[in-house]
Amino acid sequence: MAPASRLQPETAERVAALSREAFGGRAEIVFHPQCFLSEGHFAGSDVARTAAVLDIANDETFSAVWFARGGYGSGRIAEQVLGNLAPAARDKTYLGYSDGGFLLAGLYRAGYRVAHGPIPHDIRRDGGEAAVWRTLAWLIDGDKTCLEPSLDGRPAVAFNLTILSNLIGTPLIPDLTDHVVMLEEVSEHLYAIDRMMVHVVSSPALRDVAGIRLGRVSDIPDNDPPFGRTPKEIVQHWCGVSGIPYLGDADIGHDADNKVVPFGAGW
């Protein structure tokens, strides 16, 4: 299902074909018809998108809920989704990233199994088949080569920086104490990245994390005047000021190399 923007039918067909070819009868991907709805910015109304998540989450015959695409819209439906999950919703994995982080955050906070990772729409990128294969190989075979390589047994989460900023102070944000927090960003100005890092490190919700890792920051619009610091320098600066350990790079981002980051520990 698509909690935010719409998936194109031909994209779904490409993903289904890749799955058949790589995993044969060991996996069946069902694209909820809601994926292809269109209402303004969204893949259907809030009601339609909420119903579609619940259709799959509350059906015990499915083993995973895979968010079809990011964009914008998951935050609009997160409270309604979380308020209507049935017991069958516990026994599956929820996977997406970027805007999908609103749902991943709330689900993780509520004790569900969630992971950051490539989504069907990623097949449209250069090399996108490898990205989509990575999520499927991890979901179907538990293939550990698909995981973000710095994962070391400590609990972890991965978020788009804008989404994390928008989660702060809301009932969706999970307890991040002792977590490695991986961040990535796309299409934001450096001054906005700096501002959101101030927000993140100023929040008591982030002060007890194990540390921050930075993934790729891509498609940065020009800053006028030049900002004078790279994304990594920005993150290192604010980690330094706030006493949050900066732990290095994370192999995540809005690209075909994006890796899987299961939230929490004990996978």
Q: Of 133 and 238, which CB lies nearer to a copy of itself in the complex structure?
A: 238
Candidate residues 33, 127, 169, 248; the one interacting with a copy of itself per rule CB under 8 A = 169
Instruction: Please name the residue ranges forming H helices in the chain.
Output: 9-23, 46-57, 74-82, 101-109, 128-141, 161-167, 190-202, 231-242
| Strand partners of residue 262 | 115
Give the binding-site size for a copy of itself (rule: CB under 8 A): 34
Q: According to the binding rule CB under 8 A, does residue 41 interact with a copy of itself?
A: yes
Interface residue with a copy of itself among 44, 70, 75, 117 (CB under 8 A) is 75
Contact 194, 131 (CB under 8 A): no
d(CA 61, CA 31): 14
Nearer to a copy of itself, 91 or 175 (CB): 175
Residues 212-231 binding a copy of itself (CB under 8 A) are 223, 225-229
| Residue with token string 């989509």 | 132
What spatial distance separates the first Cα and last Cα of the chain, rounded to whole Å? 24
Q: Does 58 bind a copy of itself (CB under 8 A)?
A: no
Of 13-21, 35-43, 57-65, 149-157: span binding a copy of itself (CB under 8 A): 35-43
- Coil, strand, or helix at residue 153? coil
Residues at the interface with a copy of itself (CB under 8 A):
38-41, 72, 75-76, 79, 165-172, 190-192, 194-196, 198-199, 202-205, 223, 225-229
